[in-house]
Amino acid sequence: MKKLSLLLVALLLLLAACTEDDSATEEETQKSVTTVEVDEVTQGDITIDKSFYGRTSPVQTTPVMAPMAGELDSLDVENGEHVKEDDDLLTIIGAETGRSMTITASNDGEITSLSAKEGDMVSTENAIAVIADLSELTVELTVTANNLRLFEEDAEVDVHFSDAEDETTATVDYIGTLPNDTGLYPIELTLDNEDNQWQPGTVAEVVVPENTVEDTLIVPTTAIVDEDDASYVYVVNEDNVTKLEITVTESQTNKTAIEGELSEGDQVVTSGQLTLSDGAKISISDGEDNAS
């Protein structure tokens, strides 16, 4: 009876050991499979953009000047008010003549820089206010000599504003032929602002195409892994991956032009690749297969 009990205990211990080995093997197998996201290799043209930054200013500013020294008798406008050409702005009583004179708007625009008030004395030397034409805005840039080639007079370029989702276009009006004191060349662009969507002094990002790579393999930039001064992608082969060295020809934020032993339609890992190695087992995340 004692021998039988010992035999049963031994069998139970053996079964427990086998179960632990099976669980460990299963756990190890699960750990060795990496869940990844993938995207397809495409072929086509890729344009590399370059950004320049400048500030907007009114396309035209007109000072409101007193034709004679005198007292500001009446003021018909205030800062921020929009006026039309020939609208009454203010009336002055001449200091010497005692005669009144009404000053009207010389053009459409917005009243700015108005600090005088009724009863103040005004002179012929200082502007009483400024009429700013905001229907168009000028964007002023400065660029290096090497970047002058990216601009062409009368060409349209894209403009982005940091505080607005919308983008617009601007026309290149002027390209400087001589550098300024800092060695940079001035460039002026004009953009439509009929709805007063943007204010003067706003930072504008001007985006121009710098280079175009034609008929090239294109992968998501997130797929590229840089190691030891070389670039790689992980190419999907059903349930495993191949680590493939590539050459990056041009790169931008979302897409990169490459050269390598890849074909259009191949899948590359775009997320989870940092823990992979050549031949590693993978599982493609649901909803990301063949994403584009």
Q: Does residue 168 contact residue 192 with C-beta atoms inside 8 Å?
A: yes
DSSP string, 177-203: SS--TTSPEEEEEEEE-TT--S-TT-E
- pLDDT value at residue 117: 94
* Domains of the chain by start residue, with CATH: 33-49+213-284 (2.40.420.20), 66-126 (2.40.50.100)
State the Cα–Cα distance between residues 16 and 4, nearest whole angstrom: 19
Instruction: Give just the sign of the alpha carbon dihedral 206, 156, 132, 84.
Output: negative
Instruction: Give the Cα separation of 106 and 126 in Å (integer).
Output: 17
Mean model confidence pLDDT for the chain: 88
Please indicate, yes or no, whether the overall pTM of this predicted structure exceeds 0.85: no
Q: Is the dihedral of CA 117, 119, 125, 131 positive or negative?
A: positive
Q: Which regions in the chain score pLDDT beneath 70?
A: 1-31, 163-165, 287-292
| C-alpha radius of gyration, the chain, whole number | 35
Write down the pLDDT at residue 72.
Answer: 96
**Four-point Cα dihedral 171, 173, 179, 181, nearest 10:** -90
Q: Are 290 and 267 in contact (CB under 8 A)?
A: yes
pLDDT digits (tens, 9 = 90+) for 130-178: 999 999 999 999 999 999 999 999 999 999 998 656 789 999 999 999 9
- What is the per-residue pLDDT for 162? 80
